[in-house]
Structure 1
Amino acid sequence: MLSTLPLLACLGAAVVGGVFFAFSAFVMKALAQLPAHQGVAAMQRINLVVLKPLFMAIFIGTTVLSAICVLAGFYPWGTARSAWLLASGLLFFLGAFVVTGACNVPRNEKLRPMDPDSPQAAAYWPVYLREWLRWNHVRTAASLLSAACAGMALAH
């Protein structure tokens, strides 16, 4: 289990980090270049599609693995492997899962009911882009660093 755990945590965090990276690197930039009503409508659709089983299973599964990594980081305490597992788990749990729930999801929920053609949506869109993307950068970095730490745990 101590070999499988960091491998699965590494793969899960890397996949999730890659998705977040795509949004930071080009998806949100492309949506920002559209007229506001088109960008809002596209993001509303993305926020529905992402809730499908495949991504959610990987995201929630990696969150569970990250919690297990935190616990495994205390056994045996004091080894390099335990420190890397603890770091991996904390980075993903706090930096990806908690940030998603506390920062990105509330912005998605505020955008969700808006009529894309409304002045309200047009006014909120630039704010949404700036704030959502800022927190997505955090999620991206945390996920990829988590994957790197899990990879280091494999090496020890």
Structure 2
Amino acid sequence: MNALRTAALATAAASGVMGGVLFGFSSFVMPALRRLPASHAVTTMQALNRTAPRALGLPLVISGPGTAAVAARALTRADVPGEVRTLLVTGAVTAVAAFAITVGYHVPRNNRLDTVDATSDAAAPAWGSFVPGWVSMNHARTALSLVSSGLVIAGAAQLA
């Protein structure tokens, strides 16, 4: 059970890291970018979107698919109590949902923004349509990541 507990805590930590980073974007990065002229905001967001995958790739994969693997392992072990399974599976569902929002919503939007010439007349409308949905969905994946972390920690705490 120690290996399962260790893996659960590692995935919970990754979800917590993701939730913290995403909270930073929602609470101060995006509000700061909104204060900039569209050309500067687009250029900055393009740079962030090129850098973030390298920095956050591992925590993102550990938090989503990694948590799902932990939950799958818990489901196949007879010595894992039902309440722990419930916590780990629910934690995995929320982590995978955050991962899915990232891959299915944020990555395509970020890629579209990357094609915008920040010095063109298209920058302002592109930025104006980018921000509202991006931020709303970022709030969702922030909450999902933090909830996942808490649920998986609660499950891991009950593993002997």
Q: If the length of structure 1 is used for normalisation, what is the TM-score? A: 0.92
* Cα distance in 1 for residues equivalent to 2:58 and 2:102: 15
Query: Structure 2 CA distance, aligned partners of 1:51 and 1:13?
Result: 15
Q: Which residue of 1 aligns with 2:86?
A: 83
What number of residue pairs does the alignment pair up? 154
Once the two structures are TM-superposed, the CA of residue 78 in structure 1 deviates from its matched residue by 5.8
Query: Counterpart amino acid of 2:90?
Result: A
Which residue of structure 1 aligns with residue 73 of structure 2?
Answer: 72
Question: 1:9 pairs with 7, 11, 15, which one?
Answer: 11
Residue 60 of structure 1 and its aligned partner are, at CA, apart by 1.5
**What are the Cα deviations for residues 114-148 of structure 1, in whole angstroms up to 9, with x where unaligned?**
11121212111121010111110111000000000
Where do residues 6-155 of structure 1 align in structure 2 (5 Å cutoff)? 6-52=8-54, 54-75=55-76, 76=78, 79-94=82-97, 96-155=98-157
Q: Aligned AA for 2:125?
A: A
The residue identity in structure 1 corresponding to 2:18 is V
* One-letter identity of the residue aligned with 1:69: V
**1:68-120 CA distance string (max 9 Å, x none):** 133134244761111110011110012x1100111111110110011112121
The letter of the residue matching 1:71 is A
Identity %, equivalent residues: 31
Contact 2:11/2:66, CA 8 A, preserved across alignment: yes
Q: Do the aligned residues in 2 keep the contact of 1:92 with 1:146 (CA within 8 Å)?
A: yes
SS of the aligned residue for 1:117 comes to coil
Structure 1 residues without counterparts, runs of 5 or longer: none
Deviation at 1:5, TM superposition (A): 1.9
Cα distance in 2 for partners of 1:139, 1:60 equals: 14
Measure, in 2, the Cα distance between the counterparts of 1:73 and 1:121.
48
TM-score (norm 2): 0.90
Moved more, 23-32 or 120-129: 120-129
* Contact kept? 1:92, 1:143, Cα under 8 Å: yes
Give the Cα–Cα distance (whole angstroms) in 2 for the partners of residues 103 and 80 of structure 1: 32
